[in-house]
Amino acid sequence: MTPAKLSELGTWNNTIIPFFPTSYVGVWMITAFSNQYAGQSYYCTDVQNSEVAYKEFMQAGTYSISIFCTKDVNRGICTILIDGVSVGTLDMAAGSALYNQILTLSSITVATSGAHTITFKMATTSTGHYYMTLSFINIKRTA
């Protein structure tokens, strides 16, 4: 297995280590994943509508949000919300365990500068499961 390199994300404007959320819903824990970069991830149990949120300062502009995660047969579809409004989804499902995956949602418009709440919510699924693992979150202003 060749792990992805964090440098593949390009210039990091704001990196969140996901172990210290502003708020969460559901059961979340830090767990060891020996195959995952840094050896651990922030992990939610198999419960629909589990979510984790972070308060971040963002200037008005266009952004991409990337997550460094594990895809697997029991992962769900992550909805990303900014201030309670959905800006898109990332599908974490795969036919087998794929560690060190970088999933990116691009062309996110932030209309006003200031503190914004970014939420990662497991509301839908293609596998019948809602597990999510996060190792890093990257917020990059693109325009």
The reply to whether 119 falls in a domain is: yes
Q: What is the CATH number of the domain that holds 62?
A: 2.60.120.260
Give the pairing of strands 77-82 and 114-124: antiparallel
Domains held by the chain: number: 1
The reply to whether 117 falls in a domain is: yes
The reply to whether 8 falls in a domain is: no
pTM (predicted TM-score):
0.86
The reply to whether 50 falls in a domain is: yes
The reply to whether 87 falls in a domain is: yes
The reply to whether 3 falls in a domain is: no
The reply to whether 2 falls in a domain is: no
Strand order in the sheet with 40-44: 28-32, 40-44, 132-134
The reply to whether 68 falls in a domain is: yes
Q: Which domain holds residue 20?
A: 14-141
What contacts 47, CB < 8 A, 6 or more positions away?
A: 26, 27, 122, 130
Distance CA 118, CA 101 (A): 20
Which residue in the block uniquely carries the two structure tokens 């949120």?
Answer: 53
Q: Which two tokens stand for residue 74?
A: 């029991």
Full pLDDT tens readout for the chain, 143 residues: 344 444 444 444 677 777 788 898 988 888 877 777 777 788 888 889 999 999 999 999 999 999 999 999 999 999 999 999 999 999 999 999 998 999 999 999 999 999 999 999 998 888 888 888 888 899 999 98
